[in-house]
Structures are given as structure tokens and as C-alpha cells.
Chain A
């Protein structure tokens, strides 16, 4: 997982980096563009300044020549020319033949002399002119050719032999372009540089004017300047450190270049078309010369030559290079500084957040104490404050929840789970102090009825009063309410009895006398060091042993109970295995008809024959399984065995004697027992009337209406229902009034003191009479003697069961008996 700090820092630094890179490259581009522009401007400026200087010179020549040209035109006499046929032909604009005449020669001589006079004055006042001349069109005259003057030292001009155009070679442009070029162009123009052999092979530039009259060419008038004069004006110019100025002719050939010979090309790397433009404009022109990048700016002089300023690019752009380096340095520094600032700022911003995160992580582990001292007035500050508030609230809620989870809401005593923890500590304390611990289990007797009698509020008050007494006696941290009316406490075994005595005494007056008996079970850890929960269970077991009594007292869990408990655990843990491996066997005890002494019914009874523990009495496992809600498995198992037996009897041809099976209360909670039995019986093809259902009167009382309904369902399906153990408990005659049974089975207790007194006999006698009166059949169980048999027969008991007639026996034995 990437932290927010990392992300913010990464984004910030990334942003800074991108921004600075953008600025850097934009700056670099701008600087480069500006530098290019400025360098082009700078070189252009040098170029223009140099041009101005040269142009002043060149233009003065042109102006002077133009002036002389105007003289040459103005002094032409149209009349003479017309009369001599020089002009006037309708063949406009071209030279034409005419008759040579002395008059024309004479006129031309005079005319050229006049022109020369003025041209001499003009030329002498013009700086740099080395020659001026007027070369007449040879078509005009064979004799007059014009004039030609060249500078002779500093003194002035001297006349030279006039230039006879008839001798010119039109193909020799190197030497005669000065004559033919202006005629071809038809207008004044510069010519050159060219080699003027008539002036000693010197390189010249000439401004030349074709002189026309009425469309006819009269001649060419011009003035010359030496190229050297132009060169001298540029050769000394230094551009930057090693740059220079050069001159190029209109065809791109070098006129002057400090590194190249005249006539050579400037540089092929520049491209052939660049110098054909009028000037270099605002964009820099760069080319490479012998590995060196150079920048060039050029312009065109009015004489057609190109003036070029050339400098190494590194010199021209030195400032931009420095600026670029500086910007790179600044950008690097800026990235570094801003990255550090971004990191610090991120750290500053996210530190409270990070601490908040750490605090939340510690909170997740239950640590509420992580320091949070950020008080900034920003979102993180608000979040921190909210978090603190939330953490406090959470802590408070959890403490309250813990309180509720660990204590009993009504009494405030530790609850069961918390009590066990406290017990462990207390036991350790007692042990450390050399004392023995005892765990006490308290049960208020018949709280249910108390609530029904006084209401729940009063009941709660009784519970609180009891709690107060116990807490007061044993200490609130050693006392617990387990639920409903059960309490527990741990104490020093030695003082236990005294403490209990005080408790019992105070109980009597508690809650303004509205109280209940308190049964107590005690487990001494001297018996066995077991976990507190186990000890509590055993104390409860001891307490429960007093069930059925309505008195205050306590009972100590002893070795017998320990064994019983052990058996119960064994039974529950091994029930399924016992059923599967037929450790459970069904025994059948015959029930005889009193009148005949013949077997009329058989009660199926389960017997647990444990491979390790031997024979277990039903009292050893039936109650345990009832409490565990598992007895239905055994009861249905017994039913299945009975059905098997009935089939076997049929197959063996034995008499079909009905059977009875016993059901427990919990059977009805575990499944729809009525339907389950019906299905199995019907499926086996057994007559329903051949299977009687024995239900003890005790289970009817627990949920009268429900059980009444179930009994009615059995009976309506055709199953006889017997009330078992009638008279063993709190038998209510009301039951007999409300529920119809097919038979009452008197508990064997009526016969237990048969020989000691007659009370039992009297009761039995009356009960028999009552049953007879009700029309209900009767069985008396526990018949062991003939005397009992006779007595019962006499008082009208129709069926009897007991050892006198036979003990419960395995299926095979009874089969034998039936045979």
C-alpha cells in the first residue's frame, strides 16, 4: 500500500518536475527563437549599416551618371536627328540604318563634346569614379564614337581613345557586358564586377544608362568604380570575434571573401537558392563551413551585388548558450529545491494524518491511548478532533458494553463468564495464601411461583436482595448471578459453613420477609482440581440433588456424585455408539392378567450393558438422557426393537401379546412423537392396539395442556395410553378427571411397605375402587409375593407386574416363556 504522503509527494514532485521541465523547454525554445531572431537582427543590422555606407557611395555614382544621362538626352536635337533619319521611323524602339552624313558626324561631335563637358564636371565632383564615357551606337556614325575619360592619378581625368562599339564582341560579356547589358535591359543599371581590359584588367562596377531618342538607341553612357574601393570598405569590418563581411556578385560568386578566392561559390551547404533572394529577412541562415556552423545575413546593394555578413554561430549565439546553461542550472536547482519543499510540505501536511492513521491502527488493536495533539484549523485538524471524539465515545461504549457483557444487568454482579475468570484468580490467590477454595452454587427454590405470586418486580427485588447478601458475604468480585434464580460464589473452604449460615440467616429477613428457600451446592477443590466451570457444574449437581425439597440448605458434592456425573457424561457421550453397537438392550417384563395369571402384556425396558462399565441401571442413564434431550433416541430404539420382536413372535408362531413402551417428556420436544410412532407401527404392520404408551404422571404436570393433547392424539389413533407410576409423585386426581387413560399403573411404592402397615393397602384399595368406578383398567407393579398377588386380586386389580411374575428379561427368554 502506498501512503498518502508518498502519493502527495510523488504527485507534487512530479508536478514540479513537469512544470519546470515545461518552463525549461518553453524558455529554451523561446530563448532559442529570440536568440535566432536577435542574431538575425544583429547580423542584419550590421549588414544594413554596412550597406548604408556602401549605398551612399554606390548611389552617388548612380546619381551622377543619371545626371550626365539627363544631359545626354536633353542635348539631343530632335530636328537634326529627324532630318538625319536617326529617329522618325515607324519601326519603333529599334536601331535602324540610315545614311551616314558629315552633318550628322559634325552634330555628334558637337553633341558629345557638350555632354562631355558637363559629364566631366559631374564626374570630377563624384568620389570614386575612375572613368566616365559615352559610347555612341555604332549605327549612328562610323566616325564618331563618343568619349572615354579615365582618372589619371589625383589630378583628374584624362581623355582616352573613345570606345568604338563596332569593335565590341557581343559574346565577350566578361569585357563588354557594360555595353550590352544596359541595352538589353533598356534602362539604367549597374553592371559588374567585370574585367575592364581597357583600364588595365581592373575589376570594375559600372553604372550605365542607355540613351534613347524617340525610341532609337543613341548610345550608352556610364561611370566606373573599382571593385577594390567597395572591398576596402568592407574588408576591415570585424563581426563578433572572427566574423567578417564579404561581397558576392548577383550570380552568387565571391567578389570578396577573406577565406575564398574571387569567383568561387560561397558555400554549397547553404543551398543554391538562398542568395537569389533579395535579403536574408528575419530568419537566421546557417550553414556549415569546414565543420564550423556559421550564420549569415545578407542584403542586396543597388548595384546588384550581395553584401553578406558571416559569423560563427557559436559567437553569434554565445549569449543564448550562456542563458541556456543558466536556465538549465536554475531549472535543476528549482527542481531540487521545490522537491525538497514539496517533501517537507507533504510531511508537514500528512504528519497529523499519519499520526491519525497510527492512532486508528492502534485503536483497531484496542489501544485507546495513542497521542493525538494536532490542533490545526484544517481538514486534518477537524478529522483529528472528530477521531478523538469518536475514539472516546467508542472507548466509553466498549467499556459499557464490557460492563454489560461481564456483569448481570439486574444485580450488577459479574456474570457467569466473568465469574469464571474471577474464580480462577481468586483460586490462585487462595492457593497462594495456603487456603482451599470452595465453589458454591445457589438456587432460589421455585422462583417461578414467586414471580407468579408477587410479580416480576418483586421477584427482581428478591434477586437483588439475595445478590446483595451474597456480595456482602463473599465479596462482589467473588459472587455471580448466573441467570434467573441461580447464583454462585467462591470462598475459602474453611469459612464456608459460617458464611452460609450467615447467608441463610440474613435471607430470612431479606426483601421484607418475602423470600424463598435457598438451596446450595458446594464443590470443594480438595476433591479434584478442575476448572472453575466444571467445579460450578458439580456444585450445581450437588445443589440439584436437593430438588424436590422446599427447604434452605446446602449439599457438598462428594465422590458418589462425582461418579454419577462421570456416568452421565459417559452415557451422553456414547449414546449413539451404544445404540449402534447394541449396548442398549430391550428387556421385557411380563404383565399378567390377575384373573388368569397369564401374560397379557409385556413392558419393554431398556438396559445399558456397557462393555467397560458393565450393566447400567435405567436410573443411571435415563434421567441423564432426559436432561440432555436425547432419550427419544432410546425410546424410539426400544419401539423399533419391540416391532422387531412382534415380527419375530409372528414368525415364531408365538401368541401375539401386546407390548407397552415408556415415553419421556423430552421425547415430545424432540420430535412429533405421536406421528413418529404411528408411522413406524403402521409401517411394520403392527396393530396400534398392541402397543400401549406409558406416560408417567410427572411429565403430564409440567405442561398439562400440551400433554393432554398428545395423549388424546395417541388414543384417537388407537394406541392405548397408560398413566405410569401413578401415586409416585404429586399425583393429581384432577389429571384423571381431565385426561382419559386406558389404564392406571400404580407405582410399586404402594407395595413397598406392604408388610409394615396397612396404609398402603388402604390407599390401593380406594384407588382400585376409584379406577373401577372410572372404568379404567389397572396394573400394580412391584408385585413380588403371592400375598401381594392375592391382596391385589381381591381388591380388583386387573393386571399385575413384578418379580413375582417375572423379572425383565431378554427377548429370547420371554420367547421361551411364551412357548
Chain B
């Protein structure tokens, strides 16, 4: 997976795969009748959308979930995975059967035998078979534009299939149409969690062989087994998905999804106030968020869910004096992170002290707090020989929003208080990404959200190997730690594995100060009076639970 420092990437991630949650994820907020659903549009491209769930959606460049890391709305609503990650009453997570009605894991943790659910059909009427699953993984590994190979990489022979030395995926053995076994190169406890990622959605081999590259572009060529059927895609307006009446799970509660392409915060706010949107992510309305938080009108219609992700500051150890751990610690100590959270996000979130945010499997509540101590920061700087401070370039993606810019300014301001003279460098998005991937950005801030409920989604992504750490412009230098990160993946004993990840977290963040964790944010939605049953998934996404939302005939009071 990638981290995205640009506004667009960050926003997309917020929408697509927010971090894991530990809070209640199903609630039906009380709402008032301020908005009038009668104003909502009822016809989109000839389809009566009056009973559709209406929400704001980013314009995707593709809905081929294997070739994107951002746009998963079609994947999670029109397709299914072998398994899904669900939240328990106590907030813990569990892996639930989905297309695979059951599975067994071998004692050595390497073999996963799946049994497909009987009677599952794609919306074109074709039955789901083991061959479709194999095709999905082979395509994931071999498609030139695939962005999610990480999901299938643990499978035995994945590398050889990817690099062309093998034509078949060695670790995938089909027993019959419904039963197959996946063998991993080495044990990987998070493998099932990875299989619940949108990129692991199962597609139809026959359809793909017919439609080729039209998959993900042409709604009619994008056939899944999910709760909705992708009906249309108007680049100027949005996506329309209709309910799949024959869905193996049962039809969704609403007649469909009307996902509007709106980027202007004012327009988003106006559409919601006019009843044209049922579920509004307040990240979409920028400064107008305040208007939904204050007063008494929306209090009963606010829906708050933690997002499993960390806003962090990357420090490039290849850049002097960031190669000095004392300097990095000084920069950590100079930041009043609670103040930053309060000033920018009105305090909706939690200050983080490690890699793994609140809610993620492996989160360590006992991790020592990184204190706000300008004095200690100055002391550290002095010890490092920078009593007078030093100059630092703080790179910012020009596509960042007002809040992100304000965050950077505040960070710079706080660092300035200890003598660090950080200058904000605005880079266009392409340049920003290029420099970051090449490990040349000196310092930047971004948010990383969990793809799956495992500390590996942070540890390996940022510190799993040299490539990964370069890719994030971290240039973390400790090979021994990166080796331990890689080995941690295959520890079979969960307790030992968890302890290893927590030790690594402590070393990387608190001892090496390889990055500065700031905070994890709370996600805020506001709901229309007619929307019932809104739920969020483990990582705070309501998109994955659109099938549970119903549209009332009369607005809830």
C-alpha cells in the first residue's frame, strides 16, 4: 500500500478505507425534519432514484478495484470478498464468512482451504466457482496496472507468476467448483484480513475474458455478486447503482445508490441542506463543518465514528540533521499534538503515540506518551549541536485543503518556538509524489489508514524493507528492525507476534523517533431525516454498509 500526502489521496483514503474502529459501528441517529427529501432528485438517467441512498462520491478514474487504491465504492457494494471483517459488540474484530461459507487453516498457518457458498451467482446469472477466485488472484498478480498485489503476494508462487517465470499460481489448488486451497509462502496471520480488503473482491472469469479492459470502466462489463448492480456512470454527475434483488445475502434495504460527484464544499452543504444527500461526510464541507457541529439542529443527526488511521509527520533520515535521532526527538517533543488536534479538528480524535492508532489490532494503550515539552526539545537540539536551531523544508502538496495547510503552519509555528526554522514548500501533486517515492522529501505530513486490521498494515508498509521506507521518504536506516518487521509477519503465535509488533513500534517511534505520530481523527457524518440504519464498518466507512441503509417514506422526526 501507499501513503498519500496529497489532499486528494488523503480524502480518498478517508472515504475508501478508513482505519479500524473499536467503537459501535451500527447506529441510527435521531434526526429532525429540517431537510425536505421532497426536494431530492428522483430521476437519474431514467432511473427513479427517490428511494436510493444518496451520498457524495469522488470521481474515480477507474472502478477496477485491482487497479486502484482509492476508489473502492463499486467494489464494496457490487462485489463480495471471500471473507469480511466485522466488529463485535465489544469493539473487537472478527473475520466473517462471505463468499466462502467456511474455511480451515492448517496448523502451520500456511494452508487455507475455502468452501464457497452454494448458489451464489453473479448478476449476469453465472454461478460463482473456484475458477473465478483463482482468476481474481491471478489477475491481481499479473495485471500490469494492478495496485493491490500485496494482497496476493503471500501466496506460494505469487512472485513467479508476477515476474512471468510461472504461468500458474502454485499455491492455489482447485478441488472442485466450490472448494480450493491456498498455500502461503510462509505463515501470515493477517492473510484473512487482507482477503477482506476491497482489492480482494472476486470477479467473474468469464465476464473478464469477454470484456477485458472495459472492466471497471463500463458498468455493464462490471458484474459482481454484491448487494447492488452498477447501473451507470456519468462523469459529470455520479454513479448510480441499483439494488440486486437476487443478492445471495438478501436484497439491500434501499432501492439503490445515487452517488453524486460533488467536490465544492459549499455545494455539498447546499445539497445536503436541500435534502439531495442522505449521508454527508463532513470532511467534504471543509470549514462548513462547524455549522453541523454547533447549535441544536444537527445534533441528533451527527454520526461519529473513529477512523483507524494516523496523521503523522515523516522525517527523512537521509536529510541532515534529521539523521540525528536527537533532532527527530526534539521535533517530536516540540509539538503540542493535542493542541493541533483541537485547533484544526476541534478535538475530534485521539492523540497517537505509536504506529498503530486507536482501534487497530495491536494498539498499545500502555505506550508511553510523547510529551509536549519545548524545553526538552531545545535540550535535545542542543545536545545534537543545534542550539540555534536549523533550517528545514516542510513539503506540502499544493492540493492540500485549508485545514491541512493550517496544520502545517501550526507545526511550523511550534517548531519555530524551539528554534527549528521550517519553511513550507508547496509542491504540485505530481512533483510531490515523485519526490516522496524517490525518498527525497525532507519532511511532510500525511495520514495513513489501515487497510486491514493488523499492525502489519503500518509496520510493514513503512518499515518492512528498504523500498517501503524509501517510498515514504523515511529512509529508515535500521536493517535489523526492518528484518524483524518482516519476520513478525510469519510468527504463528498471536501473542508473541503482537508483542513483537509492539516492541517494534516502541523502537521505531519512541526510541528511533523515525516518524512523528500526531493523532487519529474521528470521522463525522451528518444524515438526512429519511436515512435509517446507517452503519459503519470496522474502519469507520459507511460505504461498506450502504446495504443496511433504508430510505423512509416520511422523514424521521
Q: Give the interface of A toward B (CB within 8 A).
A: 66, 70, 73-74, 78-79, 81-83, 87-90, 92-93, 183-188, 210, 212, 214-215, 217, 278
A-chain residues with CB within 8 Å of residue B297 when the two chains form the complex: 185-187
A184, B291: Cα distance in complex, Å = 11
Task: Check A187–B343 contact: CB distance below 8 A.
Answer: no
- Report A-chain residues with C-beta under 8 Å of the C-beta of B291: 186-188, 210
Question: Given A73-B287, A79-B413, A83-B413, A88 and B343 touching (CB < 8 A)?
Answer: yes
Question: In the complex, what residues of A have CB within 8 A of residue B120's CB?
Answer: none
Q: Within 8 Å of chain A (Cβ to Cβ): is B348?
A: yes
Across-interface contacts of A187 in B (CB, < 8 A): 291-292, 294-295, 297-298
The secondary-structure label for the interface of chain A is mixed
Q: Is there an interface contact between B36 and A278, defined as CB atoms closer than 8 Å?
A: yes
Min CB–CB distance B427 → chain A (angstroms) = 22
Task: Select the stretch in B385-393, B402-410, B446-454 that faces chain A.
Answer: B402-410
Q: Is the CB of A78 within 8 A of B294?
A: no
Which of chain B's residues have a CB closer than 8 A to the CB of A81? Answer: 343
Given contacts A88-B343, A214-B342, A215-B346, contact A185 B296 (CB under 8 A): yes
CB B358 to nearest CB in A, in angstroms, measures 16
Question: Knowing A74-B402, A87-B343, A90-B338 touch, does A186 contact B293 (C-beta < 8 A)?
Answer: yes
In the bound complex, CA of A104 to CA of B418 (Å):
22
Instruction: Judge whether B290 is part of the interface by a CB distance below 8 angstroms.
Output: yes
Closest chain A CB from B262 CB (angstroms): 17
Q: A93-B346, A188-B291 are in contact. List 20 more A-B contacts (CB 8 A).
A: A70-B287, A73-B287, A78-B409, A82-B343, A82-B413, A92-B342, A92-B347, A93-B293, A183-B295, A185-B296, A186-B296, A186-B297, A186-B298, A187-B292, A187-B297, A210-B290, A214-B342, A214-B343, A215-B347, A217-B294
A63 to chain B, nearest CB (A): 10
Dominant secondary structure of chain B at its interface with chain A: helix
Cβ B295 vs Cβ A214 within 8 A: no
Give A150 Cβ to nearest chain B Cβ, in Å: 27
Report the 5 A-B pairs with minimum CB-CB distance, sorted nearest first.
A186-B295, A186-B294, A215-B346, A187-B291, A212-B290
Q: Residue B339 at the A interface, CB < 8 A? A: yes
Provide the bound-state CA to CA distance between A88 and B291, in Å. Answer: 18
Instruction: Indicate if the CB atoms of B409 and A79 lie closer than 8 Å.
Output: yes
For A91, the closest partner residue in chain B by CB is B347
- Say which residue of B295, B336, B406 sits within 8 Å of A78 (CB atoms): B406
CA distance A184 to B410 in the complex (A): 30
Contacts of A184 in B (CB 8 A): 295-296
Assembly CA distance A74 to B293 (angstroms): 18
Q: How far is the CA of A120 from the CA of B163 in the complex (A)?
A: 65
Which B residues are in CB contact (< 8 Å) with A78?
343-344, 406, 409-410
Interface residues of B in 78-124 (CB under 8 A from A): none
Q: Report yes or no: B287 in contact with A88, Cβ–Cβ below 8 A.
A: no
A sample of 22 cross-chain residue pairs with beta-carbon separation below 8 angstroms, ordered by A number, consists of A73-B287, A74-B402, A78-B406, A81-B343, A87-B342, A88-B336, A88-B338, A88-B343, A90-B347, A92-B346, A93-B294, A183-B294, A184-B295, A186-B294, A186-B297, A187-B297, A210-B290, A210-B291, A210-B295, A215-B294, A215-B342, A278-B36
Q: Which of A82, A90, A183 contacts B410 (CB 8 A)?
A: A82
How many angstroms between the C-alpha atoms of A371 and B298 in the bound complex? Answer: 97
In the complex the two chains form, is A92's CB within 8 Å of B343's CB? no
* From A79, A83, A185, contact of B295 by CB (8 A): A185
Closest residue of chain B to A92 (Cβ to Cβ) is B347
A690 to B17, CA, bound (A): 153
Contact B294 A210 (CB under 8 A): yes
The closest CB in chain B to the CB of A210 belongs to: B294
- Measured between alpha carbons, how far is A392 from B409 in the docked complex, in Å? 127
When chains A and B are docked, how far (Å) is the Cα of A87 from the Cα of B347? Answer: 10
Q: Report how far A278 CA is from B39 CA in the complex, Å.
A: 12
Q: Are B290 and A215 in contact (CB under 8 A)?
A: yes
CA distance A210 to B336 in the complex (A): 28
Q: Give the chain B neighbours of A88 by CB distance below 8 A.
A: 336, 338-339, 342-343
What's the nearest-Cβ distance from chain A to residue B24, in Å? 20
Rounded to whole angstroms, the CA-CA distance of A801 and B165 in the bound complex is 175
| C-alpha gap A90/B342 in the complex (Å) | 6
| Chain B: minimal CB distance from A207 (Å) | 13
Instruction: List chain B residues, Cβ under 8 A from A215.
Output: 290, 293-294, 342, 346-347
A214–B349 Cα gap in the complex (Å)? 13
Contacts of A66 in B (CB 8 A): 266
> What residues of A have a CB within 8 angstroms of the CB of B290 in the complex?
186, 210, 212, 215
Residues of B within 8 A of A82 (CB): 339, 343, 410, 413
Q: In whole angstroms, what is the CA distance A214 to B341 when docked?
A: 9
| Shortest Cβ distance from B266 into A: residue | A66
CA distance A183 to B290 in the complex (A): 11
Chain A contacts of B292 at CB under 8 A? 187
| A623 nearest CB across to chain B (Å) | 120
Q: Mark B279-296, 1 if CB is under 8 A from A, else 0.
A: 000000001001111111
- Shortest Cβ distance from B413 into A: residue: A79
Q: Determine the residue in chain B with the shortest Cβ distance to A81.
A: B343
The answer to whether B296 touches A92 (Cβ under 8 A) is no
Q: How far is the CB of B187 from chain A (nearest CB, A)?
A: 43
Q: Which residue, A83, A87, A90, A187, has most C-beta atoms of chain B within 10 A?
A: A187
- Within 287-343 of B, Cβ neighbours of A (below 8 Å) are at 287, 290-298, 336, 338-339, 342-343
Q: Contact at B410–A79, with CB atoms within 8 Å?
A: yes
Cβ contacts B58-81/A at 8 Å (1 or 0 each): 000000000000000000000000
* A212 to B289 Cα, complex, angstroms: 10
What CA separation (Å) do A19 and B345 show in the bound complex?
75
Most chain B CB within 10 A, of A73, A79, A81, A89, is at A79
A187–B294 CA distance with the chains assembled, in angstroms: 7
Does the CB pair B348–A92 fall under 8 Å? Answer: yes
Interface centre among A82, A92, A217 (most CB of B within 10 A): A82
A188 and B287 CA atoms in complex are apart in Å by: 13
The answer to whether B294 touches A89, judged by C-beta atoms less than 8 angstroms apart, is no
A104 to chain B minimum Cβ distance, whole angstroms, is 15
Shortest CB-to-CB span from B276 to chain A, Å, is 16
Min distance, Cβ A118 to any Cβ of chain B, angstroms: 16
The distance in angstroms between the C-alpha atoms of A184 and B36, with both chains bound, is 22
Q: Which residue of B has the minimal Cβ distance to A66? A: B266
